[in-house]
């Protein structure tokens, strides 16, 4: 069944969000409205759904083979490209110490709430001061710019991805070390 109007599209989207995500109707309506507005704006500004100026047609009577066409040249990037690279999703692939550090950070953050204000979010954590320290390290790591050179407030700016990951792991291990006085040792080699 084709969807004809914007209202029908909204209703179908709400219904599908309710089915697939198990959301209440009000939550599904908010999410659907937000997504449809985003798609509408992107369509209006030509980011998606743009039609070519002229329809492409093959010349009559001429057969074009792939051998006759020159190979396309790779497109050269324009401007800066910022790559976001996270640590490996499986901590055991990084190392045993990192797996134990992830577990300790989970214990430190246990009980932390959700809030736009960091101090409010960390208030109910197991160790609030260390939860705030971890949040600072994590936010610096996620918002680093590997191309920035010079003075910066972000401790990871200007570093290669591998160097930034090593420094991040070390800073997290330092936070885990500071939690040992209250929670016991976090890394005991076998």
Least confident of 6-10, 54-58, 104-108, 184-188: 54-58
For 80-127, write each residue's pLDDT tens digit. 555 544 555 454 566 778 888 888 999 998 888 888 788 888 888 889
User: Mean pLDDT across the chain, nearest whole number?
Assistant: 76
Helices (H), the chain: 6-21, 25-44, 91-94, 96-109, 118-122, 128-142, 161-183
CB 128 within 8 A of CB 122: yes
pTM of the model: 0.50
Q: What is the pLDDT of residue 189?
A: 58
Contact 132, 109 (CB under 8 A): no
Are 154 and 145 a contacting pair, CB within 8 Å? yes
Q: Which residue has the higher pLDDT, 67 or 29?
A: 29
Q: How far is CA 94 from CA 42, 89, 173, in A?
A: 39, 9, 13
Residue 2 in this model has a pLDDT that exceeds 90: no
Question: Does 142 score more than 90 pLDDT?
Answer: no
Is the pLDDT assigned to residue 71 strictly greater than 70?
Answer: no
**Domain boundaries of the chain, sorted by first residue:** 6-44, 91-183
């Amino acid at each position: 069944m084709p969807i004809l109007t914007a209202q029908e599209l909204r209703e179908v989207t709400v219904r599908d969000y309710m089915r697939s995500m198990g959301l209440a109707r009000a939550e599904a309506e908010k999410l659907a409205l937000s997504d449809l507005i985003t798609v509408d704006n992107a369509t209006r500004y030509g980011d998606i759904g743009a039609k070519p100026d002229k329809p492409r047609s093959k010349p009559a009577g001429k057969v074009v083979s792939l051998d006759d066409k020159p190979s396309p040249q790779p497109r050269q990037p324009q401007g800066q490209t910022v790559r976001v690279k996270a640590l490996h999703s499986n901590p055991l692939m990084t190392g045993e110490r990192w797996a134990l550090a992830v577990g300790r950070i989970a214990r430190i953050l246990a009980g932390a709430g959700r809030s736009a204000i960091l101090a409010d979010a960390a208030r109910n954590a197991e160790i609030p001061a260390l939860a705030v320290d971890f949040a600072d390290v994590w936010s610096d790591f996620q918002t680093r710019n590997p191309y920035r050179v010079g003075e910066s407030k972000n401790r990871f700016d200007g570093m290669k991805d591998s160097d930034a990951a090593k420094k991040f792991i070390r800073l997290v291990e330092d936070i885990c070390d500071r939690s040992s006085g209250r929670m016991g040792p976090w890394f005991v080699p076998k």
